[in-house]
C-alpha cells in the first residue's frame, strides 16, 4: 500500500512551523502506531512539538487520532452520571482513594482508571496493591458491573485504550520531550476521553514536587486539557493545586492507604481533607449535584461503606493488616522555631530511594517503605523533636534516602499560610 504522506515532510512542517494539515497529523499518529513511522522519526517530531508548540486545533486533532488508535469505552445504560478525576501526580497524593468512594456515595459512577508510579511520584495502583488480595486488572464487564452495583472502581487501564499514547509516552521518556505541553495534554486526555466518562475534573499540580514547577506552565496545561475535554463533549474543569509540600503526613504506599482510611473515617490531615472535599464538590457539580454535603458523607460512614465494598469487590480484605517497615530512622529538628519549608521533591526522592517507587517499569515496589511526616510547614518545633520518620525493609536504603533530605526543610521564626487550591480553570 502506498502511504499518503511522508514522515520527513510532516517533521519538517512541524519544525518550520508551516502548519500541519489534519490528514497529515492523523496519518503520523496512525503510521507510528502501525510501526511504519520509526521511533527516530517520531522522536524528531516530538522534539519539534516541544520547541514550537501546537495550536489548539492541532492538539485536538492529535488527541483524536490517539483515541482512534484503540477502543472507545461507553458507560451508557448505567443509569448514572459518570465523572472521573485525573491528577498530574505529586508526593503523598493519595486523593483518589478517599475521593472515588466519597463521590460514589452520592449515586454517581466514578470509573477511575489509574496507573503505577515511576520515579518520585507514587501510583494509585501501587498504593492499593498493598492491601492483601486486591487486584487491579478488571475486564470491561467487571468494571461496568462494579460501577452499576457500587458506583466506584479503581483499576488499571486496559491496553486497548489509546495504544498510540503508550508507544509515544515511552518514547518521550527517553528523548527529553516529556515536558511538551501538547504531548502531556494529548496523552492524558486521549485516555480519559476514550474511557467514555461524561465529565472530568483535573487536579493539575504545581510546585517543586510536581511535573509543572511554575504557575504559568501549569495554567497552560490546565487550559489545554480543559479545552480538549470541552471540544470532545466531556464536561471538564481543573483545579491547580500546590505541590511544594507533600500532601498529608504519609508518603509511600501502605501508609498512604492508612491515611486515606482515616479521611474516610472522618479524620485525617487537614490538607488531604480540604483537597478531597474540593475535588468532590467539583465532580458532583458536574454530575448535577452542586449542593451535595460531602463533609457529612465523610463523617456519617457513607463513603467508608462504599470503600469497603469496593475493596472487597476487587478481592481485597478491607480489615487486613497493612505492611509495616522492618527498619526505621527518625530525623529530628536541629533548632527550635517554626517549620517554614518541607520540600516535596526531596521527600519524594527519599521515599523512592527507600523502595516506595520504581526507577524502571519492571521494578518491584516495597509497599511498606515510605516516610511519615510528624510536622508540616507552619508547625512549631523544638530542638530534638521528630520531624519525619523513614521506613524501609532494607537498612542499606536509609543512607541515600537521608542524603536526599539534607536540605529538604527549613526552620525559622514564622511562615505565611498557603492555600492548597491555587486556581480554578473552566471552559
Q: For the residues of 350-411, what is the DSSP string, one character each? A: HHIIIIIS-SSTTPPP-TT-EEEES--TT-EE-TT-EEEEEEESSGGGHHHHHHHTTTSEEE
Phi first, then psi: give them for residue 128, nearest 5 degrees: -65, -30
Query: What is the spatial order of strands in the sheet that 199-206 belongs to?
Result: 83-87, 199-206, 235-242, 421-425
Q: Which of 235, 151, 223 is nearest to 192 (CA)?
A: 235
Contact yes or no for 391/402 (Cβ under 8 A) = no
Domains and CATH numbers, the chain: 7-68 (1.20.970.10), 83-159+173-313 (3.40.1030.10), 327-412 (3.90.1170.30)
pLDDT tens series, the chain, 427 aa? 789 999 999 999 999 999 899 999 999 999 999 999 999 999 999 999 999 999 999 999 999 999 999 999 989 889 899 999 999 989 999 999 999 999 999 999 999 988 877 666 668 999 999 999 999 999 989 999 999 999 999 999 877 888 998 889 888 878 888 889 999 999 999 999 999 999 999 999 999 998 889 999 999 999 999 999 999 999 999 999 999 999 999 999 999 999 999 999 999 999 999 999 999 999 999 999 999 999 999 999 999 999 999 999 999 999 999 999 999 999 999 999 999 999 999 999 999 999 998 877 778 899 999 999 999 999 999 999 999 999 999 999 999 999 999 999 999 998 888 899 999 999 9
Contact yes or no for 275/95 (Cβ under 8 A) = yes
d(CA 254, CA 118): 17
Q: In the chain, what is the greatest distance between 2 CA atoms, to the nearest angstrom?
A: 74
Residues forming the active site: 86, 165, 172, 187, 191
Amino acid at each position: 500500500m502506498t502511504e499518503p504522506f511522508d514522515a520527513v515532510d510532516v517533521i519538517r512542517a512541524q519544525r518550520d512551523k508551516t502548519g500541519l494539515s489534519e490528514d497529515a497529523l492523523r496519518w503520523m499518529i496512525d503510521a507510528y502506531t502501525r510501526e511504519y513511522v520509526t521511533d527516530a522519526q517520531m522522536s524528531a517530531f516530538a522534539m519539534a512539538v516541544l520547541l514550537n508548540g501546537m495550536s489548539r486545533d492541532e492538539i485536538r486533532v492529535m488527541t483524536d487520532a490517539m483515541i482512534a488508535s484503540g477502543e472507545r469505552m461507553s458507560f451508557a445504560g448505567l443509569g448514572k452520571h459518570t465523572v472521573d478525576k485525573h491528577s498530574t501526580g505529586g508526593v503523598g497524593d493519595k486523593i483518589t482513594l478517599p475521593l472515588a468512594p466519597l463521590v460514589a456515595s452520592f449515586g454517581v459512577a466514578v470509573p477511575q482508571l489509574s496507573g503505577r508510579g515511576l520515579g518520585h511520584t507514587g501510583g494509585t495502583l501501587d498504593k492499593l496493591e498493598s492491601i492483601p488480595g486486591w487486584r487491579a486488572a478488571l475486564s470491561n464487564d467487571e468494571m461496568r458491573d462494579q460501577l452499576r452495583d457500587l458506583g466506584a472502581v479503581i483499576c488499571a487501564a486496559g491496553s486497548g485504550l489509546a495504544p498510540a499514547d503508550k508507544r509515544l509516552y515511552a518514547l518521550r521518556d527517553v528523548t527529553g520531550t516529556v515536558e511538551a505541553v501538547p504531548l502531556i495534554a494529548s496523552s492524558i486526555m486521549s485516555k480519559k476521553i476514550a474511557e467514555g466518562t461524561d465529565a472530568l475534573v483535573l487536579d493539575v499540580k504545581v510546585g517543586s514536587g510536581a511535573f509543572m514547577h511554575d504557575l504559568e506552565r501549569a495554567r497552560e496545561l490546565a487550559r489545554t486539557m480543559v479545552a480538549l475535554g470541552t471540544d470532545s463533549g466531556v464536561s471538564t474543569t481543573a483545579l491547580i493545586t500546590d505541590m511544594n509540600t507533600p500532601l498529608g503526613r504519609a508518603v509511600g504506599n501502605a501508609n498512604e492507604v492508612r491515611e486515606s482510611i482515616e479521611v474516610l473515617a472522618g479524620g485525617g490531615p487537614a490538607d488531604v481533607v480540604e483537597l478531597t472535599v474540593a475535588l468532590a464538590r467539583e465532580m458532583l457539580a458536574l454530575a448535577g449535584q452542586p449542593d451535595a454535603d460531602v463533609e457529612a458523607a465523610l463523617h456519617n460512614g457513607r463513603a467508608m461503606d462504599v470503600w469497603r465494598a469496593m475493596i472487597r469487590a476487587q478481592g481485597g480484605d478491607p480489615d487486613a493488616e497493612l505492611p509495616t517497615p522492618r527498619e526505621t530512622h527518625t530525623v529530628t529538628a536541629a533548632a527550635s522555631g517554626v517549620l517554614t519549608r518541607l520540600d516535596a521533591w526531596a521527600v519524594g526522592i527519599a521515599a523512592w530511594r527507600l523502595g516506595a517507587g520504581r526507577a524502571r517499569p519492571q521494578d518491584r515496589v516495597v509497599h511498606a517503605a515510605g516516610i511519615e511526616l510528624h510536622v508540616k510547614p507552619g508547625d512549631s518545633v523544638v530542638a530534638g523533636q521528630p520531624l519525619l520518620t523513614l521506613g524501609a525493609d532494607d537498612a542499606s536504603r536509609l543512607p541515600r534516602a537521608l542524603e536526599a533530605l539534607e536540605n529538604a526543610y527549613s526552620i525559622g521564626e514564622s511562615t505565611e499560610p498557603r492555600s492548597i487550591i491555587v486556581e480554578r480553570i473552566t471552559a
